Structure 1
């Protein structure tokens, strides 16, 4: 899957961060935050093929969050910690609908669909569909 210009920009400031050009990296991240109202820190891990439709408008990601490969994350998604305890780990081929909130030190398995405006605070096994507040497994393969 070919990466769009948005993800190339994120990779640029992540590369600056990893090569210890912290000030330049923070400046690039701040510029993108101002342009698109998203907070994707350079220290988070984003797998290849992951896409952010709508230029990640309103997306907020914890600095230590890990996102697998070929994920699709829609607008206004929050991936964060809960009660100061670590961020979520997102598996491969995960679709996260707009407005979804995933909080805490939890693991989201591979091939999971998370519905729009869902609140996920528990581990989700692979090959599942999650909806609701709090998120409940609607379908498990």
Structure 2
């Protein structure tokens, strides 16, 4: 006799936790019941919930939420890496942001997280040669979240964009795994020439608020870029840079500054400044 297949929530711990959080949230704040039921409790999986949330945020008079839902579902079904990256991004927000108290909170309300997932859909479209549709999603993402990521940029898993405001990531930029980026950061080019012209950010890097990283330069793994810095040259592995223009002021502090989120400068900064 065949055994019935388990409900996906029973074999997916992340989705089970999110559904539990959703039920608790509805009990505490019934006015949010329609949002949470439609976005979480009526959905069959995390992947379906993700596609729904993206479509509801980006839908407009120019492109309907239903059309966007179909696009998002198509991308997520075609490329399992999208959902895997979305899960890693979600865990990164929950682990690194002390203002995040649940997985549900990040999916529903954190525009930095949502913007990254919109980029991942646009990136899939870009790789399929559907550039105009990818540009449309980029435009809507910028309008809704004030996060402008070119769909051709290459971004790894476990990215956290804290506050999700004023972010610009250019066409040929590369961002590694487990990176944290605070608000008003630019990964931009210099000049007007075509070609490979944007920064390459290593794994575990933390980029402070207001930092500008410009040109086809490399930021080594486990490095920190202090808030307000303007980085125009390569950054060595596991170092801290600060200033305008930025210069090395100390060590990175640990093997994954992005996870520690420590933005203080140690005594090495004072010594270097003298």
TM-score by length of 1: 0.92
CA distance in 2, matches of 1:50, 1:87: 18
Matches within 5 A, 1:39-54: 39-54=148-163
SS at match of 1:83: coil
What whole-Å deviation, never above 9, does each CA across 1:83-136 have from its counterpart, x for those lacking one? 346111111100000100011121110000101000111111001011111111
User: Which protein is bigger by CA-based radius of gyration?
Assistant: 2
> Is residue 119 from structure 1 mapped to residue 205 from structure 2 by the alignment?
no
- Asked whether the 8 Å contact 2:200–2:218 carries over to 1, the reply is yes
Within 5 A, what are the aligned runs for 1:1-141? 2-4=88-90, 5-6=113-114, 7-55=116-164, 57-84=165-192, 86-140=197-251
Stretches of structure 1 that go unaligned for 5 or more consecutive residues are none
The whole-number CA distance in structure 2 between the counterparts of 1:137 and 1:62 is: 24
Q: Which has the higher helix share?
A: 2
Q: Would the aligned equivalents of 2:88 and 2:157 in 1 still touch at CA under 8 Å?
A: no
* CA 21–83 in structure 1, closer or farther in 2 if over 3 Å, else same: closer
Q: Distance in 2 between matches of 1:32 and 1:83?
A: 25
Say which SS state the counterpart of residue 93 (structure 1) adopts: coil
The answer to which structure, 1 or 2, has the higher relative contact order (CA under 8 A, 6+ apart) is 1
Give secondary structure in 1 for the equivalent of 2:250.
Answer: strand
Greater share of strand: 1
Q: Where do 5+ consecutive residues of structure 2 fail to align?
A: 1-86, 91-112, 253-274
Aligned length: 140
Q: Provide the aligned C-alpha RMSD in A.
A: 1.5
